[in-house]
Amino acid sequence: MIWSIIKKQFKLFLRNPSELLLLLAMPVGLITILSFALGALWDSQSDMEKIELAIVQHGNEEQQIEEFLDEISQTIPLNETLIQNVHSMLPVSTLIDQVLGSSETEEFIHITNLDPSKLDEIRNKNEFNAIIEIPDGFTSDYLTSIFFEGNAPTFQVYLNESEQTTSMIIQNILDYYQYQFSLFSQLGKARLLTEQLTVPSIDLSSEIKTVESKQQISASTYYTFSMTVMFILFLAGSIASQSYIEKDSHIFDRILLAQVHPLIYLLSIVVSTIILAVMQVSILVVAAKLIFNIPITNLGLFLLITLMLSIVVGGISALLSSLNFKSNSANASNLFMNAIVAIMSLLGGSFFNISGLSPVLAEIGLWTPNGAALEGYLRLVQDGTWSSIQPIILNLGILAFIFLLLAFLLFPKRGGIV
């Protein structure tokens, strides 16, 4: 009996051209318009801009070296090897010239040396991605901690929290730098430094290659998936509205007279929505593949995300149907399609990549069905694996369970009477 009800749902849906226009023709049109209108802008923004880094020094390193050599000459004899070791361990010069200013990093990091008096002024601006403040006596304190007893000095790093990617790059470089000098500090305290030991320059070429080897996400690819996961939400509201029409016209009561349990009817709504959602996603993605040649990698994981998203949409459709039946009106499905879909689309990144606006909103967006599915699809485009989409599948599974549970709990058990 359930398959007869599902077959009825399909016939009603296919006989409604306005619904087909909304769910299939409109997203294809929007994908085409957005891809051509924003394609050039999107591609220009995909190229990584240089990281603007400011260096603020409160002292002169060469002067500190000379003062340190004069100081230790009074306690230990100086020889050529020791002097060479001291000059090879200039922490500030190594950081600026060999690490941040090396030939590998100069392609994506631009260094500006600033006067200490301007520190407070530039900290209140977004002109730089990061600011490194090196205190006075940093080099002499560092060398003292190596050759004598004492704690290693520290310098301040101010990161622009609104630029997560650049902040992470700077943080990783500084972590590597800290590791190298911590190693040499231990060698110095153990009196194991020789003239053959020098601080190596950082090698970032392999890391850069790894990042650039990922598949670039074009505007057409992004908006194909963002519009698909947005318009699949309208399917839930559309089927919920159709189910209320059946209740209002007493078709639902006639189904119950045929000895069909109300929850069987609700289950038919879930199953029919899932099938239609899978078909909708498949049609839109295949159309985009033919028009824009978007990449579709790992078909098995792609179908898994689509199936999980469809189950969530089926749960939403069932929940909206239950609310419509409870309120004896189509207000729930109308509110969902007119307002809630727009909010979910904004949080889920259907209009633009919201992670660049707010990392907090981006995390919230992963708990919307469209946001989670969009993130999963984009990870697959960038050669994602099962481990990379596992959190996405978990989020969708939790959402599906919640929506289905609420739908079956709220659905009336006595026909058209609440």
Contact predicate 28/230, CB 8 Å:
no
pLDDT of residue 183: 60
φ/ψ (deg, to 5) at 117: -70, -15
DSSP run (H or E) holding 114? strand 109-114
Read off the tokens for 329: 């009106």
Residues 6+ apart with CB under 8 A from 331: 324
pLDDT of residue 103: 66
Contact predicate 230/350, CB 8 Å:
yes
Q: 3-state DSSP call for residue 230?
A: helix
Task: Give the chain's count of helices (H) and strands (E).
Answer: 19, 4
Beta bridge partners of 156: 133
Greatest extent of the chain over all pairs of C-alpha atoms, in Å: 105
Strand 51-57: give its sheet, edge to edge: 109-114, 51-57, 130-134, 156-159
Strands (DSSP E) found in 25-74: 51-57
Query: What's the distance, CA 346 to chain centroid?
Result: 14
Residues 6+ apart with CB under 8 A from 127: 52, 54
pLDDT of residue 176: 67
Handedness of CA 258, 262, 263, 268 (dihedral sign): positive
pTM as predicted: 0.60
Q: At 170, which amino acid appears? A: I
- Which candidate, 205, 226, 164, places its Cα nearest to that of 381? 226
**What secondary structure letter does DSSP report for 417?**
B
Query: What's the distance, CA 74 to chain centroid?
Result: 58
Q: What are the sequence ranges of the domains in the chain?
A: 2-44+216-410, 48-212
Beta bridge partners of 57: 134
Query: 259 in the Ramachandran plot: left (φ > 0), alpha (ψ -120 to 50) or beta?
Result: left
* 418 residues of the chain, pLDDT tens digit each: 667 777 777 777 777 777 777 788 888 888 888 877 766 556 555 445 677 888 888 888 788 878 777 777 777 766 676 677 676 667 787 777 767 776 667 767 888 888 888 888 787 777 788 888 888 888 878 777 777 766 777 888 887 766 666 777 777 777 767 766 666 555 555 555 554 444 444 333 333 333 334 556 788 888 899 999 999 999 999 899 888 888 888 887 787 777 778 888 889 899 999 999 999 999 999 999 998 888 888 899 999 999 999 999 999 999 999 999 988 888 999 999 899 999 999 899 888 887 767 778 888 999 999 999 999 999 998 888 899 899 999 999 999 999 999 999 998 876 544 4
- Alpha helix positions (H), 50-118: 61-72, 80-88, 91-93
- How many other CB atoms sit within 10 Å of the CB of residue 200? 10
DSSP run (H or E) holding 242? helix 219-248
Contact predicate 145/184, CB 8 Å:
no
- Which candidate, 156, 132, 143, places its Cα nearest to that of 88? 143
